[in-house]
């Protein structure tokens, strides 16, 4: 039995690879090609920066979130428009902007940030101004404050 151990190990590896190649991968390809992950919404993703009323509201919601996180001790000046805004599809937005921090803090100056935000109500845009209908997914660039 000792001299067949290596052959059994090699045969087991070959069976595992063939099972992966012939059974598992075709199943994965079928699931990926199906409509299982399809999200049907009016908001389509764009590789180019956009400027829509929802991207402007998303920018304001990100600014409000930053203001609430920093508190009233820090004086903040936000620009009128973001540097860039992209839609990721399905009412998710990526906002790139700058904020000017003034006051007696050691982090005073202009900081760039990126905010990923999602409008939770989907195609129903009636509640777009309500901050409860927005979810901040991530914020980058403001963590050294």
pTM of the model: 0.71
Shared domain for 15 and 70, answered yes or no, is: no
Q: How far lies 4's CA from each of 10, 15, 103, 119, in Å?
A: 10, 16, 77, 61
Shared domain for 82 and 117, answered yes or no, is: yes
Q: Considering the domain boundaries, does residue 43 fall inside one?
A: no
Per-residue confidence at 15, pLDDT binned at 50, 70, 90?
Answer: very high
How many domains is the chain partitioned into structurally? 2
- Chain centroid to Cα 69, Å, comes to 19
Per-residue confidence at 23, pLDDT binned at 50, 70, 90?
Answer: very high
Parallel/antiparallel/unpaired status of strands 134-140 and 109-119: antiparallel
Q: Considering the domain boundaries, does residue 82 fall inside one?
A: yes
Task: Look up the domain containing 26 and give its range.
Answer: 2-33
Shared domain for 66 and 23, answered yes or no, is: no
- Read off the pLDDT of residues 70-113 as tens digits, 9 standing for 90 and up: 877 778 889 999 999 999 888 899 999 998 888 666 667 888 99
């Amino acid at each position: 039995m000792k001299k067949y151990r290596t052959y059994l190990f090699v045969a087991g590896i070959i069976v595992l690879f063939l099972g992966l190649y012939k059974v598992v991968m075709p199943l994965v390809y079928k699931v990926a090609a199906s409509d299982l992950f399809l999200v049907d919404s009016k908001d389509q993703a764009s590789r180019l920066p956009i400027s829509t009323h929802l991207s402007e509201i998303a920018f304001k919601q990100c600014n409000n979130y930053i203001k609430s996180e920093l508190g009233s001790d820090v004086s903040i000046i936000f620009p009128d428009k973001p540097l860039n805004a992209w839609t990721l599809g399905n009412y998710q937005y990526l906002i790139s902007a700058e904020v000017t921090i003034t006051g007696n803090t050691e982090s005073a100056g202009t900081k760039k940030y990126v905010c990923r935000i999602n409008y939770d109500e989907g195609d129903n845009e009636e509640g777009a101004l309500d901050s409860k209908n927005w979810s901040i997914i991530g914020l980058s660039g403001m963590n050294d404050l």
